[in-house]
Amino acid sequence: MSIKFYRPTTPSRRQMSVSGFDGVDKKAKPERSLTEVKKKHSGRNNHGRITVRHRGGANRRKFRIIDFKRKRMDEEATVLRLEYDPNRSAFIALCEFEDGERIYILAPVGLKAGDKVVSSSTADIKPGNCLPIANIPVGTVIHNIE
């Protein structure tokens, strides 16, 4: 993933950088079965009165349901695409199992469309694979712990 550096047009922009969108499909619609509408409170309390001003409106952000548990052991899934998620700083990967079930996982650096990921106690040490902590060798780079 590349890093985009901004030109110093203001003092705060001088230090600003963001991750690039290499390999991320920004135009793809999120998988409908894996999204929920996030309820907005619009600055109102439990009585419905405005307690925080200037909140409300805007577009509804859909919350993507991420599979952190990875319970389907010893089954290989194919990464269909990487997607942008407005609710977190990490990108997410849409994966499909051989029976057609789809899940979202957090996308580690180096994962790309077409890669195979697996959750297993004997899986190879590759980006996207999931192993129990006891089976991970010392010194291995870890990107997500559940």
Edge-to-edge strand ranges of the sheet holding 92-97: 102-106, 92-97, 76-83, 116-118
Domain residue ranges in the chain: 33-65, 66-146
Pair type for strands 102-106 and 92-97: antiparallel
pLDDT in the model for residue 80: 95
Query: What is the pTM (predicted TM-score) of this model?
Result: 0.82
One-letter amino acid for residue 2 of the chain: S
CATH for 66-146 is: 2.40.50.140
- At 105-144, the pLDDT tens digits run 999 988 999 999 999 999 999 999 999 999 999 999 888 8
Alpha-carbon span 81 to 111, nearest angstrom = 10
Q: Which residues of 59-78 are buried (b: 16+ CB within 10 A; e: fewer)?
A: eeebbbebbeebebeeeebe
Q: What is the pLDDT of residues 76-94, one digit of tens each?
A: 999 999 999 988 888 999 9
